[in-house]
Every structure is written in structure tokens, then in C-alpha cells.
Chains A and B, each alone.
Chain A
Amino acid sequence: MELKEKLISSFMAFEEKVDVTAQLHDIRTSAIKNFENKGFPTKKEEAWKYTSLNSVLKNDFSVFPKRENAIEFKDVKQFFLHEIDTYKLVFVDGKFSSFLSSTTHEGIDVCLLSSVLTKPKYKMVLDTYFNQIASKDESLTTLNTAFAQEGAYINIPKSKVADKPIEIIHFSTGEESALMVQPRNLIIVGENAHVQIIERHQSLNSNPVLTNSVTEIFAQKRAIVDYYKIQNDEQTANLIDNTYISQKQESRVAVHTFSFGGNITRNNLNFYHFGERIDSTLKGITIIGDKQHVDHYTLVNHATPNCESHQNYKTILGGSSTGVFNGKIFVEKEAQKTDAFQQNNNILLSDKATINAKPQLEIFADDVKCSHGCTIGQLDERAMFYMQQRGIPQKEAKALLLYAFSNEVIESIKIPELKQRIMKIIATKLGVNLGFDL
């Protein structure tokens, strides 16, 4: 049975068993219908022109894990930001692991989406936020909506500051020969509230995994959200990450995406503005090799006046890897005085690596500042010779240049320990140890 049919028939069986309100049931049912009509995206669609899921969909994925799988903290400690204290929401094969997690309801909510979906006390939250900004049209998002069951629920009320960063980690144990998981995260950051979140998907062995994740983030007036995505998974893991962000006036949301691992990774990152003087930041570093594939598909929808967006994506491709950057900036007629900036720099380290870069600016307002820059190049040979002449060997010289290339993005990481961790991962990827911070 093909994965699509398997998902649809599983949905039928699953929907009978879950205890949800009629309203939620309707949301799910219309979502699965949309998926049934559209199916998995193919390269025929403009938005998926450079990314094919065919090879991934051939796997016989289990849609629900057959049993609960426990893992021990010591075996997975390396994947946490263990140098500092954090709140933790940990999921193993799609199921919440209370043992590995550290949740709270004191002042802020760091807990589970399953509670929101099933407990009456969260009815207001469910009605106001769930599936409100996520697409009701995009097939993979609706597939996730249909199966939405578990994930992070974070609610930082008005004027609260989360006292420590929150880590959301989804582990797959590989106990199933091939597993598909569909985490669903809901994050609400109230007026003047502030939160830092780190999200990671990690498989623990080399059995194929397909993660189709959806995250909805609501930033209220003057809220500040720093969101970091670490994608450094096994090369048999596939990730489709759909993130939808709703911003109210004067809110500031920054999403950093670090893509170092995985087989096929697709990041759909969507920002929607509802208010003036909003600031949106989208930054990313991609360093891949072998046959890895990373596709960044970004949208900033400027719908209101006096807002800013800043995009900066750095890509380093080796081996036969492929990178895609499709950055869409949409400036509606009402969005006067928009300041939208997009930068995308790519370095190809090998003749077999490919980059597809497509900046897309659609501007309907007449008084705006929009700029974009895209470069594709190789390592600067003159700089290499200069460094070698000073006694720095080729490998280290190369690493130094690539570090420097990525530095604009690294330096805007606001959690120092995370910055160290990212630099360490980059050093490992480049096979060097420089012994200092840039």
C-alpha cells in the first residue's frame, strides 16, 4: 500500500478512537480531505521544483509506533544543551517522555499539546490559536493537522519572561524499521513576554525516519521570541519542518535554522504580520556534503506598514549535496515603509554540488525599501594563498574562511552555550579545531 493510502486508512481507524470535540474532529476531517485531494507534493509544483520526496516515500513507514520506547538520559545527553539549565519537552517516537522532560505550569506553561487538544480547561486556547495560522491548503501541513496529537505547548503570559531556554527534542529510536512522526507544536507568547526556544529532531540509529512537523507561533504585542532549530540528524532521517508565525505590533521574532545533517530537509518558514513596527529575522547556516539535500523555503508577508524583515542564509555545499534557497518577500499595498532585506550567500566546495537560489520579491506598495543579494561562489583562492603564506595549512585556512563566511549568522545567536555548541558542530563538520572563537 502506498504511504498516502496507508495514512488515509490509518486516519479513519485513529479518528474513531480519539476523544476530541466535534469542532476539532471537523478540523481534522477537512484537513485529511485536503491531503487526500492534493497528495504529497511533487516536483511539478513550483514550490517543490527542486525537492523530490519520491525516494523517501518509497519506505514502508509505520504511522504509529507499535510500542513505547524508553531511552536513558546518559545515552542522549549530548543532544541537550546540558551545560545550562533548561525546560525540556522530550518526545520519543512521537510519545511524550515525562522521564526525560522538565515541564512547568508555574507562571508559564511548558507542557503538552495533547492536553490542549483534550482537556476542557484549554478550550479557549484551542479555539483561539490551534490551526489558526497554519495553512489549511498546503498538503503536508494539513496532513499534520489531521494527525496532530502530540507536541509542545508553550504559553508565556503577558509580561512574563521564561527564566530559562526551552528545549523541544523529538527522538526517534529506530525500533521501528521505518517511522513517520508528525509532531505539532503550539507556542503563544503574550504581550511583552519573552522566550528562547531550541528545537531539535534526532534519530538514534540509521533506520529511515520521516518527520512532518508543524509549529505555530503567536507573538503578541511587543513579544520577543528567539527560536533556534538544530538540524544535525543521521543521513537516513528526513525532515519537513513547517513553521507558521503570526506577529502582532512591535513584536520581534527571530528564527535561526542550522542545517548540518539529515537526508532530505525541507524548511517551510512563514511569517505573517498583523500590526505595525514588527521585526522579523530569518537566518540560517547550512553545511552539508555527500548526497544531502536542504531546501529553505521562506515567506515574509508584509501586510502592515512600518515593519522590517531581515533574512540572511549562508550555505556551504560539498560532495554531491544540493541546496535550495527560495526566499519570498510579499509586500502588500497597505505595507508602506516596509524595510525588507534578504541576503543569501552560497559556497560550492565541489564540482558536483548544486545550489538553486531563487529570491522572489513581490511588491505592491510604492514607498518601501526592499533589497536582496545572492552570491554563489567558491572559496577565494587569493585568500587561501594569503593564509597559507602565513603558515596556515590548507585545511585550516579553508575552515577559517568558512567560519568567517558563517560568522554573521553565528554571532547573532543569543544563548552563549548554544553558540559554542553550533561552533563545535561546524568545526566537526569542517574537520578542524581552531581553538578560538571568531
Chain B
Amino acid sequence: MLSIKNLHASVEDKEILKGINLEIKAGEVHAIMGPNGSGKSTLSAVIAGNENYEVTEGSVELEGEDLAELAPEERAHKGVFLSFQYPVEIPGVSVTNFMKTAINEHRKANGKEEMPANEMLKLIREKSELLEIDRKFLSRSLNEGFSGGEKKRNEIFQMAMLEPKIAILDETDSGLDIDALRIVANGVNKLKNDENAVLVITHYQRLLDYIVPDFVHVLMDGKIVKSGGKELALELEERGYDWIKSELN
């Protein structure tokens, strides 16, 4: 599904990603863990097409198609979804109107008619229930004055609405209390199927108790230095990252 080959990326001439290789197949859940500053968020931004990062070498392919020349919205239309670590507040645009616009832009890009209003309402109702989101919340300005937990739930709600092929969850667990974490993880698990994939980017193992990965990768200094199964996450939780560093040396 998602194939990353020898990916190098820099921001303002500083190289952050130094040759990443990663294969994610349909139906899989991958986790990338790593200490602060290792390049985790850069990787998610580069996959989503953030133009502040320059890809200097290598490629990112989605279902065999190179994403290099595609704008962020085109990547989104092809099924890339990024749940932001810090969702942006957009005063004056309600959650509902934002979602309507996003859904219809996806449909337009894929040669479909706009979604009829009643169908849209039904979809919104169904998906907001999944994330235990209050109806009143949907008419509020996007992310404005939302608590940390509300923001993250709203991210996963949007993911549920857009049904991406590959969902990247960038530090989705940060700022979540245990109830919100459970709701978010439950939402992700319900959306997961054999035809999509999830990439969880996290600093802590906590979220992985709920969204259980098939593979865990350790990112350090812009490279994946170790890969393993879900037990690797537990080991990192227990032992920290230093032992990997010494193992490398």
C-alpha cells in the first residue's frame, strides 16, 4: 500500500530524514517510535506533502504511484490522511461545514457528484456517534476552544468521514486522558479493515495497548534503526531508547 524508499528530507537545508525504508501492506498496523527530535513528525509531514520540507532523495509511493509531484490535497484525494499532533484552530468555519467541503472535494476529485444533504447528515450522525461526539460540538468553529481530547477525537471523526487508505496518527495520544484515549483507539479499530492501513507515530507505548501494531519501528536520527513485533514497544517502554543506541555503536 505505502512504500517508502530511501527517503531523505530536509528543512531549511538541515537534513532530518536520512534514508528511510518502510513497506506497509493493506490490513497492517505499523508503529513508529522514537525519542524527541528523531524525525517522527517530519516523516508524517513529508508523506502528507507539506511543502516546508524538501525531499532530496528517495520516494514515497501509494499503491505504486509516486506521490512526489502531488499537492497535499491530491494526496488526500488518493487516500492519505494525517491526524495532526496539533490540529489547527479555524475560527468561523464549523466542523460540519468543514467536513461537507472536504467530503465533496474528495468526491469531485474522484469524479463523483456532491453528496446529497440528507446522506451527508446521516453520515455525520453515524460517525459522530462512533467517536461519542455531541451534536452541539459539530456546529462549533473547527478546533476553536476545543480541549486536547476534543481536538484528537475530532481528528479521528474526520478520518472516519473520509475513510482513507492510509491513516497516519501523529502523536494522537498526546493530551488525551484515559477515556478519550479509549474512545479514539476504539474509533480507529472500528475503521480498520483489510483494505486500509494505519501508521501510528508515538513517543509512548500507551496507545499501542489499544491500537495493537503488527510491526514496530524505532526511528533515531532520521533512520529506522530497529524493527520488530509489538513486543518491541513494551521493551522500549521498559528500557527506554538508550540501549538501542549502545547496541548500534
Please determine whether chains A and B interact with each other in the same assembly. Answer: yes
Report A's interface with B, CB cutoff 8 A.
Answer: 380-383, 385-394, 396-397, 400-401, 403-405, 407-408, 434-436, 438
Q: Contact size class for B?
A: 35 or more
Most A Cβ at <10 Å: residue of B75, B100, B101, B114:
B101
Return 8 A-B CB contacts under 8 Å, by A number: A388-B72, A389-B72, A389-B80, A391-B162, A392-B102, A394-B71, A404-B91, A438-B93
Choose one: A385, A390, A393, A407; the contact of B98 (CB below 8 Å): A390
Whole-angstrom distance between the Cβ of B58 and the nearest chain A Cβ: 21
Asked if B203 CB lies within 8 Å of chain A CBs, one says: no
Cα separation A404 to B141 with both chains bound (whole Å): 10
* B contacts, CB < 8 Å to A: 48-52, 71-73, 75-77, 80-82, 84, 87-94, 97-98, 100-102, 104-106, 109, 114, 141, 158, 162
Do the beta carbons of A404 and B73 come within 8 Å of each other?
no
Residues of A within 8 A of B102 (CB): 387, 390-392
Query: Are A388 and B71 in contact, with the CB atoms below 8 A?
Result: yes
Across the interface, which residues of B come within 8 angstroms of A386, CB to CB? Answer: 84, 87-88, 90
B101 proximity list for chain A (CB < 8 A): 392, 396, 400, 434, 436
A388, B93: Cβ atoms closer than 8 Å? no
Contact of A388 among B76, B141, B162 (CB under 8 A): B76
Q: Decide: A436 and B98 in contact? CB cutoff 8 A.
A: no
Decide if A383 touches B90 in the complex (CB within 8 Å). yes
User: Could you tell me the distance in whole angstroms from the C-beta of B232 to the nearest C-beta in chain A?
Assistant: 29
How far apart are the CA atoms of A392 and B24 in the complex, in Å? 26
Given A403-B92, A407-B92, answer yes or no on A390-B76 (Cβ-Cβ < 8 Å).
yes
Additional pairs, 19, CB under 8 Å, beyond known A388-B72, A407-B91, A407-B92: A381-B52, A383-B88, A386-B84, A386-B87, A386-B88, A386-B90, A389-B82, A390-B98, A390-B102, A391-B77, A391-B109, A393-B71, A394-B71, A396-B101, A400-B90, A401-B90, A404-B93, A435-B104, A438-B97
Q: Which residue of A lies closest to B75 (CB)?
A: A389
Contact A385 B72 (CB under 8 A): yes
Quick one: closest B residue to A434, CB to CB?
B101
**In the complex, residue of chain B having the shortest beta-carbon distance to the beta carbon of A411:** B92
Minimum CB–CB distance for A182 against chain B, Å = 39
Complex contact B92–A391 (CB within 8 A): no
**Distance (Å) between the CB of B85 and the closest chain A CB?**
11
Could you tell me the distance between the alpha carbons of A435 and B117 in the complex, rounded to whole angstroms? 12
Residue of A385, A394, A407 near B50 (CB, 8 A) is: A385
Q: In this complex, which of B92, B94, B98 has the most chain A Cβ atoms within 10 angstroms of its Cβ?
A: B92
B88 near A391: Cβ-Cβ < 8 Å: no
**How many angstroms from the CA of A383 to the CA of B144 in the assembled complex?**
12
Q: Is the pair A436, B100 in contact by a Cβ cutoff of 8 Å? A: yes
6 A-B pairs with the lowest CB-CB distances in the bound complex, closest first: A404-B92, A391-B76, A388-B72, A407-B92, A386-B88, A390-B102
A438-B92 contact, Cβ under 8 Å, with A386-B87, A394-B73: yes
Chain B residues whose C-beta falls within 8 Å of the C-beta of A438 in the assembled complex: 92-94, 97
Q: Is the CB of B105 within 8 A of A392?
A: yes
- Take A385-B50, A396-B105, A404-B92 as given contacts and tell me if A391 and B97 are in contact as well, using a CB distance cutoff of 8 Å: no
From B52, B76, B109, give the contact of A389 (CB < 8 A): B76
**Chain B hits for A434, CB < 8 A:** 101
With a cutoff of 8 Å between Cβ atoms, the chain A residues found around residue B109 in the complex are: 391
Which of B52, B81, B105 is close to A393, meaning CB atoms less than 8 Å apart?
B105
A407 to B71 CA separation, bound complex (whole angstroms): 28
Bound state CA distance, A391 and B102, in angstroms?
6
Is B76 a contact partner of A436 (Cβ separation < 8 A)?
no
From residue B79, how far is it (CB to closest CB) to chain A in Å?
10
Chain A residues lying within 8 Å of B81, measured Cβ to Cβ, are 389
Q: Are B48 and A389 in contact, CB atoms less than 8 angstroms apart?
A: yes
CA distance A165 to B144 in the complex (A): 36
Q: Report A361 CB to chain B, min CB distance, Å.
A: 26
**Separation in Å of the B156 CB from the closest CB of chain A?**
13
Task: Tell me the smallest distance from the CB of A404 to a CB of chain B, in Å.
Answer: 3
Instruction: With both chains docked as a complex, state the minimum distance between the C-beta of B95 and any C-beta of chain A, in angstroms.
Output: 11
Given A390-B162, A391-B109, A400-B101: A382 touches B90 (CB 8 Å cut-off): no
